[in-house]
Structure 1
Amino acid sequence: MRSLFSIIITICFAASTPANATVMEFKRDGTMTVYPAVDALSFKRHAKFVSPSIPADIPADIDSIVEMASEKYGVSADLIHAMIQTESDYDVFAVSNKGAMGLMQLMPETAKEYGVIDPFNAASNVDAGTNLMSSLLKKYNSDTRLALAAYNAGTGSVSKYNGIPPYKETIEYIGKIEKNLGWQIDSKL
C-alpha cells in the first residue's frame, strides 16, 4: 500500500512539474536564436518557419523590405518571400512575357493603381505587391489559395469560377508557392 502511495505521489509530482523545452528560430542569414518554450503559444509567438526552398542568401536589403511590408500590411513574410521566389526568383529587373515587372511581377495597370513609378525599385514593388496581396486576403476572408489565385489570374477569374480557376498556370503557381513555403497551404495562412 505504501509503495502504491509513493508511485501516485511521484506521478502527480512529475505531472505538475513544467516541461523544459526550447524553441529555436533559424534566420535566413544562418544565425539562430534560442527561446525557452513555456507553452505551445510561446512556440507560435517565437518560431518562424523558414523554408529550405527559399534561398538563405537573400540580400539583406530585400529581406528588410519584405519584413517592413509584412509588418505594414499583415502578410506573412514567408508568404511574401515564397511569392517573390515564384514570381521573379529575386530578380529585381525581371519582366514576364505578359509585361509583369519586378520582384512581385506587377502588371503595368497594377503598378499604376498602387502609385508605383518605378516597378524595378524593390521597395516600391514589394510594398505594392504586398498591399495587393493584403487586399486579396481580406477580400477572400484570409483564404490564401484564393488570394494567390486572384494575384495570378485576377479577381474576375476567381469570381467567374467561384474558386480557383482551372488554368494550368494558376494551379502550378499555387503549387510553386506551396513548394517554396515548404508545406501545403491550408485555406488560411
Structure 2
Amino acid sequence: MRFRLHTLLLSFLLLPLPCLAEELPTSDSLRELAVRYEHGRGVQKDYEKAFQLYCLAADRGDREAYYALGWMYFNSRGVEQNPAIAAGWFKKAADAGDPAATRMVSLLAATDPQPDPHCTPLAARKRPGREEIEQWVRVRAPAYGLDPELVLSVIWAESNFNPRAHSVKDARGLMQLIPDTARRFGVTDSWDPAQNLHGGMAYLQWLMQRFDGDVPLVLAAYNAGENAVDAYQGIPPYPETRNYVKRISRHYPKLRHPVIDSPVVSMING
C-alpha cells in the first residue's frame, strides 16, 4: 500500500470549515466528505484522505464505507489492487445488507476474503488485544491531530489497555471516560472500544487546542478537568494529578505538542 499511515500527524488537514469541537462526526458526514475527496468534488482529489475518512466511517459500522473501501482495493483506486481485501470489505457490506456488495461477493466467490491490515475496526463490546489497539490508534490518532505515542501513553496510564476497566469514579473503558465526558463528546457506549477511543481522542484534541499544545497541562486537565487547571493556573496540587502527569511524562517526555487548527475530525460537523 502506498499510504504513509504512520507519518500523517502534521499533514492530515482537510477543509477550513468551522467546527463543533465537542461533537464526534457521524458516519454519514465522514463518508460524504470521503466521497468528495475520492472524486474531487469541490476539493482536490486525494485518495489517501478518502481512505482515512472511509476508515473512520467504517469504525461506526457504515456499510457504504465498507463497500467504498472494497471498491478502492478492487479497482486499485489509490491503493494496490488486492482482491482478497476487497472481498473482505464487500463481505462486511453484504452482511450489513448492501445489495451491491452482495453482487460483488458473488463475483469474487473464488477469492478468500481477508481483513484489511490498514483499517481494522475494533468490534463493539469485544476485548481487543494491546497489539490491535496500538495498530488502531497509530492509524487514527493523526486524524485528531494527535501524536499516536501520546494517545497510547494515556491509554496505558488510564486502563493498561483493558477495554473493560472501570474505576470507583465510574470512569470506563480504554481511555476511562466518565459519563459526563462521554456525553460531551458524543459517546453513546463507553464500553465500545472504538467509541471510547474516538471520544477520548476528541477530548485530548480539544484540550490540546485549549492549552495551546502544553502537554503537562493537557494531561493534568485530562485527569482533573480543565476547570481545575484554569483555577490553579497550572497543574493542580492534587497528588493523584501530579503523579499522573509525572507517570505519563516518563513514557512521553515531550513538553510541547503541535496544535493543528483543523484536524479532520473536528471539522466534519461544521
Normalized against structure 2, the TM-score is what?
A: 0.46
User: Which residue number corresponds to residue 74 of structure 1?
Assistant: 145
Q: How many residues align?
A: 131
Residue number among 201, 205, 214 corresponding to 1:130 in the alignment: 201
* Mapped partners of 1:72, 1:187: distance in 2: 19
Instruction: Indicate which of 212, 215, 225 corresponds to 1:154.
Output: 225
Moved over 2 A (4+): 58-61, 184-189
Q: CA deviation at 1:81?
A: 0.5
Matched, 1:143 2:214: yes
List gaps (5 residues or longer) in structure 2. Answer: 1-5, 7-128, 259-270
Q: Which runs of 5+ in 1 are unaligned?
A: 1-26, 28-57
Q: Which has the higher contact order (CA 8 A, sep 6+)?
A: 2
Greater gyration radius: 1
Q: Tell whether the 8 Å contact from 1:100 to 1:107 is kept in structure 2 after alignment.
A: yes
Which of 126, 135, 155 is residue 64 of structure 1 equivalent to?
135
RMSD: 1.7
| C-alpha contact (below 8 Å) 1:66/1:80 kept by paired residues | yes
Q: Which amino acid aligns with 1:71?
A: P
How far apart are residue 113 of structure 1 and its match?
1.6
Structure 1 residue 187, shift from structure 2 partner = 4.0
Residues 1-189 of structure 1 aligned to structure 2 (within 5 Å): 59-181=130-252, 184-188=253-257
Give the secondary-structure state (helix, strand or coil) at the position aligned to 1:81: helix
Higher strand share: 1
Deviation (angstroms), 1:146: 0.6
With over 3 angstroms needed to count, the CA separation of the structure-2 counterparts of 1:91 and 1:116, relative to structure 1, is same
